Amino acid sequence: MAAAAAAGPSPGSGPGDSPEGPEGEAPERRRKAHGMLKLYYGLSEGEAAGRPAGPDPLDPTDLNGAHFDPEVYLDKLRRECPLAQLMDSETDMVRQIRALDSDMQTLVYENYNKFISATDTIRKMKNDFRKMEDEMDRLATNMAVITDFSARISATLQDRHERITKLAGVHALLRKLQFLFELPSRLTKCVELGAYGQAVRYQGRAQAVLQQYQHLPSFRAIQDDCQVITARLAQQLRQRFREGGSGAPEQAECVELLLALGEPAEELCEEFLAHARGRLEEELRSLEAELGPSPPAPDVLEFTDHGGSGFVGGLCQVAAAYQELFAAQGPAGAERLAAFARELGSRYFALVERRLAQERAAFLGCLTDVRQALAAPRVAGKEGPGLAELLANVASSILSHIKASLAAVHLFTAKEVSFSNKPYFRGEFCSQGVREGLIVGFIRSMCHTAQSFCDSPGEKGGATPPALLLLLSRLCLDYETATISYILTLTDEQFLVQDQFPVTPVSTLCAEARETARRLLTHYVKVQGLVISQMLRKSVETRDWLSTLEPRNVRAVMKRVVEDTTAIDVQVGLLYEEGVRKAQSSDSSKRTFSVYSSSRQQGRYAPSYTPSAPMDTNLLSNIQKLFSERIDVFSPVEFNKVSVLTGIIKISLKTLLECVRLRTFGRFGLQQVQVDCHFLQLYLWRFVADEELVHLLLDEVVASAALRCPDPVPMEPSVVEVICERG
Amino acid sequence: MEDDAPVIYGLEFQIHIIDFDDENNIINKNVLLHQAGEIWHISASPADRGVLATCYNRTSDSKVLTCAAVWRMPKELESGTHESPDDSSSAAQTLELLCHLDNTAHSNMACVVWEPMGDGKKIISLADNHILLWDLQESSSQAVLASSASLEGKGQLKFTSGRWSPHHNCTQVATANDTTLRGWDTRSMSQIYCIENAHGQLVRDLDFNPNKQYYLASCGDDCKVKFWDTRNVTEPVKTLEEHSHWVWNVRYNHSHDQLVLTGSSDSRVILSNMVSISSEPFGHLVDDDDISDQEDHRSEEKSKEPLQDNVIATYEEHEDSVYAVDWSSADPWLFASLSYDGRLVINRVPRALKYHILL
């Protein structure tokens, strides 16, 4: 310590540090003390290394360092420091040594105190433990006494316990017996209250016991009573079951109870089905009534909905109840149920089919509407029903009908319907059922219905109004051009047809529709041609051509023909385009007039009846025909107005020609024909595609009339013209 | 006259007798004058080849009257061996009038038909709405009205055509008026069947199947040819729609009734093969007279499947309406058609078909 005191202060705790006060000094001091303890215990290195702020620990001049060498330190001080500083460090050193001494003293005191108190505590503990041991001994003896007592009590109570158990058993038995004795009255009460389920349960519980002890007279009596009551119960149940008014679940309950009562299942099964049949047949009847002969039939969806919830639901319920009740019946029972369901089901489906058949007639309904619409304006005396509007109406109503049907059918493939995922509904249903069966079938049946108008036996005209033919023809043509492909695209989109069944291609349907349209239009031409033909024919056949007067006028029938043709022209113009006609000069009527009045005059109007003469006329007409094309009277028409009109006029004029050839004409008769033909020529050429055709036919008419005239003196062309212009 | 097929047709005031020599393809024409008036209908007696009946128009006082008369050809024409100078300008001969079918009571004879199998003594004429059965007596020089019947009904009914059935002992006649076909029993002169609305429009002609007694064909202005079974008249057995204008004539082949000839004012003649409703639906079973015996066995070898009805040929030689067609009575494979412009066309059944039918 002397060395340390001589050594003076360390650089870290130099004289500048003193003003820091006792707080700053205290940790410093403690550290020093620790450092010395550590030094003592050999820990110095590790601890010293942990001290960051210290100077080199190996420095022998470090007062606090482990390798402090007092000699070196003193040498250093002596060599380096002036006297004043040496003095200072000496005082400092002394002061430090004193502080250290007092510290040491305090520590020793503190530790000594602690040691003393610990010794006291240990002595006290020794005392306590001794006391505790005594207590434990006492506890052990007490426990032994308790055990002894308990054993003695148990031995005493043993006897009583057995008796109590026995008594409890007797009590239960007695209660059972009481139940048995009360059973008849209870059953009666239950039956009276209608708690059949309870009664059956009681009976079921008692049955076995009574069976077992029936040799005892008392039990015998109870059993007999019970049997009587049970019989009555069964009776009542049956009664209720037969009344049938109650719903299916109640009936099922009845049957269940009866089964529990041990009634013959076979018979019950029959009866159950009979009742179910009665109910379901009622459903069917109500459905049938809805169908009815009078057609205020509800919507088809409503109908199927009704059928589905009423009949199908009922049938399902019956089947479920049956299977639950008569599961024990085995395959025979199942067989019976299947037969039952099959029969009723087939009747139901027959009804549904009938209903759907009515639905099919929708197109016919449309047609009826159109017919009425066509007939109505005429009754009202209006001119020209709006054919185009009607067409639009029909087309849109049919289209909306198809869309509605598609939407209705689409429900079957909706995602939320459970069976829509079955392969049938994904594949065959879409392609075969909907596309082929519904849409293609509809288009086909439409074409078929339309075509049937062409084949109707009433060819004399009355059956089908010509305007309807025209309208349908246009409708079919529209279908061919647009609607069919539209509908089929719509269908294909809605029902992603994804299987490889062959489907009818659009082109086939289009061809069918076009064919229908063509036939309808051809028929229209025939019908209208026939109307005009009849008019011309009557006019030729009923007139006395030999004694007719010199013509002054065009005959009224010719004017009528022109009027009617104009009307037809207007009618067709409403629905069909104009079409192309051969370009010809507008005043060609005059030109052709000269054809038959000049070129043929010599040959035809002056026939002589010598054998050689006909050769000339034949030759002439044949030569002319060589240069003109053969006229195909009922040739197929094209879809335009001009072609239709040409067809009608051809038919009419050909009729006129044939009729004229069957008559004999006087001079004025011939002239009248001449006038009539010229008149027709003036007005008809504008309607036809090739006016040459009209000229040719009219030419032929006049030539034929001339040939059929014993005194053929034709009228002057100028006079003919004057008459025609006047008329 | 085995190979010759005489065809008679009338045009205005003449009757031309055409001899067709099949072997040499030569046509001979003889002209007979018919001075009474223009001829509308003509039919030859089945018993006497020199006798024929005509319906003709007589114009007098600006009135046209259709009369009927029975005529006899000159002897040398009748024999068929007569060789004319083959000059059309040769002096025309005149028909000899045998008798008039007196029509003072009934005007407008539409047609005259002979009893097909008889001795040429019975003849029926149709006048307006009357059907008249005449007996020709004293070698056809006198016609006595044996019985008659008339059609009663609304409006002016007028017979257009009639045929005498070769079946049932020649006791049935069928007539056409407007759109209706009627059958008559010549013994009681009562109607036995009636096909209302047989055609949509006027019925122009009809013919009996020569081999099937209940079958008859009709044609009309609705461009159709219909085949009927007279036992069930509600529906036609078959309908042909080949023509595009009125069909004026329909004729069964006299021996092979599947061959049906039709002429129309669309100037076409159509030969159809109606096998399915013929008497030989499975082809030819019994050989015809004119097949030699060696060919007999061959017909048996033919497969006996039903043949299809079809159009055999369409003849378009005519330039104008065809008003008459008929089969040759001598050669079953030959037929002629006549059109408005006076052209007479003689055609043969196609050789292939002929052999098909025969073998």
Predicted ipTM of the assembly = 0.80
Domains of chain B and CATH, by start: 10-77+92-151 (2.130.10.10), 158-281+305-358 (2.130.10.10)
Q: Which of A611, A664, A704 lies nearest to residue B31, judging by beta carbons?
A: A611
- Mean pLDDT lowest among A369-383, B36-50, B212-226: A369-383
Residue A582 pLDDT class (50, 70, 90 cuts):
low
Nearest-Cα residue of chain B relative to residue A627: B319
Dihedral angle over CA of A664, A669, A671, A672, nearest 10: -120
How much is the pLDDT for A216? Answer: 76
**Range 586-625 of A in CB contact (< 8 A) with B:** 609, 611-612, 614, 618, 621-622, 625
- The helix/strand count (H/E) of chain A reads as 27, 0
3-state secondary structure of B177: strand
DSSP A479: I
Average pLDDT in the A530-552 region? 83
Looking up tokens 């309607």, which residue turns up?
A687
Residues shown for chain B: 359
Average pLDDT in the A263-274 region? 74
Tell me if B206 sits within 8 A of B176, measured CB to CB.
yes
Mean residue pLDDT of chain A comes to 73
Residue B11 pLDDT class (50, 70, 90 cuts):
very low
Q: Which of B11, B245, B267 lies nearest to residue A634, judging by beta carbons?
A: B245
Question: What letters, b where the CB count within 10 A reaches 16 and e where it falls short, cover A142-180?
Answer: eeeeeeeeeeeeeeeeeeeeeeeeeeeeeeeeeeeeeeb
A658/B57 CB distance under 8 A: no
Please indicate if any CB of chain B lies within 8 Å of the CB of A135. no
Element (H, E) at B229: strand B225-229
A460/B200 CB distance under 8 A: yes
Q: Which residues on chain A are in Cβ contact (under 8 Å) with B200?
A: 457, 459-460
d(CA A46, CA B48): 167
Average pLDDT in the B259-263 region? 91
CA distances from B113 to A590, B7, B54 (A): 48, 17, 10
DSSP B247: E
Average pLDDT in the B116-139 region? 82
How much is the pLDDT for A112? Answer: 92
Average pLDDT in the B287-314 region? 56
Q: How many CB pairs under 8 A join A and B?
A: 64
Tell me if A694 sits within 8 A of A688, measured CB to CB.
yes
Q: What is the pLDDT of residues A55-89, one digit of tens each?
A: 565 777 777 777 788 888 888 888 888 888 888 98
Distance from CA of A530 to the nearest CA of B (A): 9
Of the ranges A196-205, A524-533, B88-97, the best mean pLDDT one: A524-533
Average pLDDT in the A695-705 region? 85
Enter the CATH code of domain A527-576+630-726: 1.20.58
Q: Label residue B267 left, alpha or beta by phi (over 0 means left) and psi (-120 to 50 means alpha).
A: left
d(CA A548, CA A666): 7
Q: Give the distance, in angstroms, between the CA of residue B277 and the centroid of all CA atoms in the same chain.
A: 20
Tokens standing for A84? Answer: 């004043």
Nearest-Cα residue of chain B relative to residue A458: B200
> Comparing A627 with A252, which gets the higher pLDDT?
A252
Nearest-Cα residue of chain B relative to residue A534: B201
Nearest alpha carbon to residue B195 among B229, B245, B223: B229
How many C-beta atoms surround the C-beta of residue A379 within 10 A?
7
Distance from CA of B73 to the nearest CA of A (A): 18
d(CA A62, CA A51): 14
Residue A502 pLDDT class (50, 70, 90 cuts):
low
How much is the pLDDT for A386? Answer: 65
Average pLDDT in the A273-298 region? 70
How many C-beta atoms surround the C-beta of residue A527 within 10 A?
22
B319/A625 CB distance under 8 A: yes
Looking up tokens 């031409």, which residue turns up?
A525
Q: What is the pLDDT of residues A414-439, one digit of tens each?
A: 665 556 566 666 666 666 667 777 77
3-state secondary structure of A340: helix
Residue A202 pLDDT class (50, 70, 90 cuts):
confident
Of the ranges A198-212, A282-296, A366-380, B154-168, the best mean pLDDT one: B154-168
Tokens standing for B124? Answer: 């029926």
Tell me if B237 sits within 8 A of B229, measured CB to CB.
yes
Tell me the longest C-alpha to C-alpha distance in chain A: 191
d(CA A375, CA A371): 6
How much is the pLDDT for B303? Answer: 45
Distance from CA of B72 to the nearest CA of A (A): 21
- The 3-class SS string of A379-442 reads HCCCCCCCHHHHHHHHHHHHHHHHHHHHHHHHHHHCCCCHHHHCHHHHHHHHHHHHHHHHHHHH
How much is the pLDDT for A65? Answer: 75
3-state secondary structure of A640: coil
Nearest alpha carbon to residue B131 among B116, B146, B153: B146
Tell me if B338 sits within 8 A of B322, measured CB to CB.
yes
Domain definitions of chain A by residue range? 351-374+385-525, 527-576+630-726
d(CA A461, CA A369): 20
Mutate to test the interface with A, among B319, B323, B338, B344 (most CBs of A within 10 A): B319
DSSP A685: G
**Range 436-495 of A in CB contact (< 8 A) with B:** 457, 459-460
d(CA B264, CA A634): 12
> Comparing A621 with A553, which gets the higher pLDDT?
A553
> Comparing A615 with A526, which gets the higher pLDDT?
A526
Tokens standing for A203? Answer: 């009976």
Tell me if B295 sits within 8 A of B311, measured CB to CB.
no
